[in-house]
Amino acid sequence: MIEVEVKAHVNDFNPVKNALAKLDAELIKTELQDDIYFNAPHRDFAKTDEALRIRKVTQPGLENSKYEKLILTYKGAKMDAVSKTRKEIEVEIEDLEKMSSILENIGFIPVANVNKKRVIYHYHSFIISLDEVRDVGTFVEIETEANEGENFEDSVEKIFEIYKKIGITDGFERRSYLELMGIYI
């Protein structure tokens, strides 16, 4: 699967929420995401532009209870010069500590944590996320999926059209939240 994604920094979510309401975008849910990023023992992900993470998802107000889900994600290098489009492989896992231990025992090194509150909307075939990222800032991410080998450039154009509809014409950011934190793994 190819994740076609464009991210933009915003200072205020209120105009975005109002624009999403006018588009009849559907509010899906709010969740907290705690990501643990790992670097590989056999190559430097900072040089290859890859990422490996475990994401713990919980509901706001339930941070100290059992997580809603755990996801192991591999992200390949970015595939174009304007978006964050990349190959993405995800699998749900059952045990954070055991999965972390497996990765560490085969040489992967935990290098950083990214914590965010994400408000998720659905609009046609697109997911629109409003992210408050600790120590980084506030961002809007719009994404959709494409099959490997499929032309994803039309999807990138449609994402930029949605950004125009919600009043965002600048602040686009290709760097990951890790890079924005000054962490290059």
Distance CA 173, CA 82 (A): 9
Distance of CA 52 to CAs 71, 98, 114, 123, 140, Å? 11, 16, 13, 28, 22
**Closest C-alpha among 2, 1, 47, 14 to residue 166:** 14
Catalytic residues: 37
Provide DSSP, 84-103. Answer: --EEEEEEEES-HHHHHHHH
Q: Is 6 exposed, middle or buried (0-12, 13-18, 19+ CB in 10 A)?
A: buried
